[in-house]
A and B are shown apart, each in its own frame.
Chain A
Amino acid sequence: DIQMTQSPSSLSASVGDRVTITCQASQDISNYLSWYQQKPGKTPKLLIYDASNLETGVPSRFSGSGSGTDFTFTISSLQPEDIATYYCQQYDNLPYTFGPGTKLEIK
């Protein structure tokens, strides 16, 4: 199975800050990586697919990059509504696997 790691596990930042989360796969997954946002008590929401493609309707302050084993998720200017846990997920091979999540808080 492909293992996914994320760092940091939690993050506190101020409104307007640039926030970066990294995700690493245990083997090459090309660009078969997605990012999800899950607000407390809510359903996960797709933000990014194929490592860097923004899902329709998602604000442009969210972006993703990377390929192979190393990936980055960025919020260019943190907004209060971005408080959530963020997960990466690989879909190169079954079983699909998620990262453990990064909990983002406002400072």
Chain B
Amino acid sequence: EVQLVESGGGLVQPGGSLRLSCAASGFTVSSNYMSWVRQAPGKGLEWVSVIYSGGSTYYADSVKGRFTISRDNSKNTLYLQMNSLRAEDTAVYYCARARPYFDLWGRGTLVTVSS
């Protein structure tokens, strides 16, 4: 079955760090563009980052310099390392396969930044 499963969310204090994982099955992460999209509580969708099949990475201005997208080809897994977290980073984080439209989404993992 083709699917994405995120993990790693939780409660973290402002200024803290968290690493999200997204395990893929049924297709190869490294052969596709892969993105992270987030949704703050009660708000709309916001694109966060993309990694191209060739390895190039891009970020939204709101997370540039704080977040890092990466992948482990041997584990067929996508990651998002989040540092210097702020209250405004509180959201459900989805990983998605980018065609570049997002045709496959995970169920999301909730990140809460609060003291």
- B61, CB-defined interface residue at 8 Å: yes
B45 near A89 with CB under 8 A, answer yes
Whole-angstrom distance between the alpha carbons of A34 and B102 in the complex?
8
State which size class the interface on B falls in: 20 to 34
Which residues between 69 and 94 of chain A lie within 8 Å of chain B, taking CB atoms? 87, 89, 91, 94
B100 near A91 with CB under 8 A, answer yes
| A46 and B102 in contact, given A94-B50, A95-B58 (Cβ under 8 angstroms) | yes
A-side interface mostly: loop
Query: Smallest CB-CB separation from A46: which chain B residue?
Result: B103
Residues of A within 8 A of B9 (CB): none
- A68, CB-defined interface residue at 8 Å: no
Whole-angstrom distance between the alpha carbons of A55 and B99 in the complex?
12
> Which residue from B47, B103, B107 sits with its C-beta under 8 Å from A95?
B47
| A95 and B60 in contact, given A43-B94, A100-B44 (Cβ under 8 angstroms) | yes
The interface on chain A, measured as residues whose beta carbon lies within 8 A of the other chain's beta carbons, has a size of: 22
Query: Smallest CB-CB separation from B107: which chain A residue?
Result: A43
Whole-angstrom distance between the alpha carbons of A34 and B107 in the complex?
20
Whole-angstrom distance between the alpha carbons of A102 and B57 in the complex?
30
A34 near B101 with CB under 8 A, answer yes
Whole-angstrom distance between the alpha carbons of A89 and B108 in the complex?
19
Query: Smallest CB-CB separation from B100: which chain A residue?
Result: A91
A98 near B47 with CB under 8 A, answer yes
B100 near A55 with CB under 8 A, answer no
- B72, CB-defined interface residue at 8 Å: no
> Which residue from A32, A50, A55, A98 sits with its C-beta under 8 Å from B45?
A98
Residues of A within 8 A of B99 (CB): 49
A49 near B47 with CB under 8 A, answer no
> Chain A residues in contact with chain B, CB under 8 A?
32, 34, 36, 38, 43-46, 49-50, 55, 87, 89, 91, 94-101
> Chain B residues in contact with chain A, CB under 8 A?
35, 37, 44-47, 50, 58, 60-61, 94, 98-103, 105-108
